[in-house]
Structure formats: C-alpha cells, structure tokens
Amino acid sequence: MKVRFTVLGEPQGKGRPKFSKRGDFVVTRTPDETVIYENLIQTEFLRQCGNVRFNDNDYLDMRIMAYYSIPSSASKKKRRMMIEKEIRPTKKPDADNIIKVVADSLNQVAYRDDSQIVDTMLRKYYSEQPRIEVVIQTTKE
C-alpha cells in the first residue's frame, strides 16, 4: 500500500519540549507551534488520503520532500539556481526534526506507532510554493 499527501506552508520541525515544575512533579509540554503543525499534518493526511491506515505489523518506508520558500533577498541568478535545485537549503529546521514531527503526528492516524517506520528519506529544496510532500508505503526490506 502507498499513500501520498502534501502540507502547504513553510516546513517546520519538532519543537523541543518545555519542562516546568509543579510541586514535586516535573511536567512536560509540547510547544504550541508544534501542536498546531502536527494537527495540520493530521488534517491534510485525512483530507487527502481518507481513513487509510497501515496494518499494525507493516514495515513502513517514509519519504519526505521539504520545499522552503526562496529568500526575497536572493538575486535573480541565485533564485534561478534555487528553482533548478542547484542551490539547496542548509537552514533549519534540521532534517531529523522534520521527520520527527511528521512521524509523530501520524501515530494512531496512519499507523499504530512510528516505530513501524524502518526506512526514511528527506530531501530539502527551494520552491516558490513552500510545502512538504510525504509518501508512505509498505516495504518488505
């Protein structure tokens, strides 16, 4: 089985958890920006893929293409090189944080748990339309 969906907007990574002390206990909280982005990913997955869910014992392969907006300060030459993928982004968020936010947001939505993901790939590019494109498929390897 294979599904693909797109989330429009600037790629975001998983934010660092916030810790606070409540009496004798430490409380962990996910940053609001991360929660909003995870909800957007879930919404777009359900809207574009329907109620598709991988089996609990499936091995999964997740491929993500992250497209960043082209900086307005880029010259015409650099802009062309960015569109033609000759210049690629090395800015934040880091690849591992993008993978983490996508994988975590689809727990109990597309699959039981992101531990089922046995293969990942993320590529970062520039585009005039910032977005992430996600492909998830079963794999036997």
Q: pLDDT digits over 21-62, tens only?
A: 888 888 888 888 999 999 999 999 999 999 999 999 999 999
* Count: domains in the chain: 1
pLDDT at site 27? 86
| Tens-digit pLDDT profile for residues 77-127 | 999 999 999 999 999 999 999 999 999 999 999 999 999 999 999 999 999
CATH value at residue 49: 3.30.1330.70
Which domain, by its residues, includes 67?
A: 2-138
Q: Please state, in angstroms and rounded to a whole number, the distance separating the CA atoms of residues 72 and 111.
A: 39
Query: Is this prediction's pTM over 0.75?
Result: yes
